[in-house]
Chain A
Amino acid sequence: MAVVEFQGKQFEVDEDGFLLQFDSWAPEWVDYVKESEGIKDLTDDHQKVIDFLQDYYKKNGIAPMVRILSKVTGFKLKQIYELFPSGPGKGACKMAGLPKPTGCV
């Protein structure tokens, strides 16, 4: 698999640009990904979504359902798409370092 180098850090990624290991996540990863996900500047709102996804994943071993993400962060799905144009799965989960969404997507 491909290895990405960014600001002195190395990240192992798959063909869709998802991290292969959640543990290899670092703040630099977010800076590296944001451009390919159509995000110019990282705001506190972005950070709030990423932090929650990571906490939830560490605690439960899965990514939260969209309704849980909305309810806890207080962002409606529309706002999540405004923050992450590719959506909560391809955008936010990728930046948070979570595994790639599976199933019939």
Chain B
Amino acid sequence: MAFISSGYNPEKPMENRISDIGPQHFTEFLQPVIKKNFGKWVYHEILEPGVLKHVAESGDAVYTVRCGTARLMSVTHIREICDIADQWCDGYLRFTTRNNIEFMVEDEGKAKDLKKFLNDQKFPGGSFKFPVGGTGAGVSNIVHTQGWVHCHTPATDASGTVKATMDAVFDQFTDMKLPAPVRISMACCLNMCGAVHCSDIAILGIHRKPPIIDHKYLDNLCEIPLAVAACPTGAVRPSKVEVDGKDYKTVAIKEERCMFCGNCYTMCPSLPLADKEGDGIALMVGGKVSNRITKPAFSKVVVPFLPNNTPRWPEMTDVIKRILTAYSEGANKYERLGDWATRIGWERFFEVCDLEFSEHLIDDFRDPAYYTWRQTTQFKW
């Protein structure tokens, strides 16, 4: 395509440059009823899955219809969302912190019609474009990352695993029959961008092989001390090697100390470690961020490895469904997944979910590992 200038002058890059203006103020985009009753809400209720009602002191009510998205979306799709907002909501809409879309209307009948309309929209392949749900004690959208779409350090894909998982748990998105909300998150490497460390169920990409060292290029592409300092287990040390009769400054990696975190690759492009067979997924459960009844908690690893079986990750969705079923049958009302597992004991959790317990699940990282072992005689056979 031929070049079309925006008016920017590369000869004078700092001329007419606008900077530090920040985002636009959110009040410019508030739906009128919400703007009018800002800070004056009295109560809310969930009318049905995906439809909320908020009532203000003035008696005004606003009805919110929440629908799922794939998060990764085209401009065509966004325009379609805008068309719906124009047609039903005077052009107003919002996105939630789990990347769902919310349309706000002022009339209950209209909200229900909108729900029906949204549920009728489909992609040519048959998928729902705007499935309504994600409220109350169900499974809402999956917070996820870039994966093979854009990142250079992933051990698995994000959009693919998330689509496979949401297909498997779709009934829980459009319903509210679980004991408490179940938050599923996904991160494609253990940088854990997003919420995997604090979610009820977490999908995490992991490696199982140490980095390959490009000795010839390492010193030129990397700041060696940074690669050394990037290692949490002290497996990387500076070193010298001779390749084809030439001396190179490089690093050496003690493979028995390496746990394949990939931090050194983040800092140094000459230490790639992605591997088709080695890479896969670990599953964690039991995290939460809210303070409701129990304190916020980190999620714990319960499945050390599942293969990257593209494009549907059947082993992964199978385990997630098993955990979800055992939780929904076993937990009390309001009990989050981690609260339930703590109450029945983790040995019972592994039993009811039919998960294998292996040595990989026993913490061995520095002094705090000790506190995760059992220093009591209290356990169940």
Contacts and interface: CB of A to CB of B under 8 A. Distances in A.
B220 A20 contact: yes
Contacts of A104: 191, 266
Contacts of A85: 13-14
A102 interface: yes
Interface in A54-83: 57, 60-63
A81 to B, nearest CB: 10
Nearest to B217: A20
Nearest to B17: A85
Contact of A21 (B13, B220, B224, B226): B220
Contacts of A100: 221
Given A102-B267, A103-B267, A61 B13 contact: no
Contacts of A99: 220-223
A80 to B, nearest CB: 15
Contact of B266 (A22, A63, A103): A103
Interface residues of B, number: 15
B14 A102 contact: no
Nearest to B267: A102
A61 B220 contact: no
A62 B226 contact: yes
Nearest to B223: A62
Interface residues of A, number: 15
B41 to A, nearest CB: 38
Contacts of B220: 20-22, 99
B225 interface: yes
A105 B221 CA distance: 16
Contact of A61 (B191, B217, B225, B266): B225
Nearest to B265: A102
B221 A20 contact: yes
B240 to A, nearest CB: 13
Interface in A4-48: 20-22, 38
Interface string A92-104: 0000000110111
A20 to B, nearest CB: 6
Contacts of B13: 38, 85
A21 B219 CA distance: 9
Contact of B14 (A22, A38, A57): A38
B269 interface: yes
Contacts of A62: 223-226
A38 B217 CA distance: 29
B268 A102 contact: yes
B191 A63 contact: no
Contact of B226 (A20, A22, A38, A102): A102
B224 A102 contact: no
Contacts of B191: 104
Interface of A: 20-22, 38, 57, 60-63, 85, 99-100, 102-104
Given A102-B223, A103-B267, 7 more contacts: A38-B13, A61-B225, A99-B221, A99-B223, A102-B222, A102-B226, A102-B269
7 contacts: A22-B220, A38-B14, A62-B223, A62-B226, A102-B223, A102-B226, A102-B268
**Which 7 residue pairs spanning A and B have beta carbons closest together?**
A38-B13, A62-B223, A21-B220, A102-B267, A62-B225, A61-B225, A61-B224
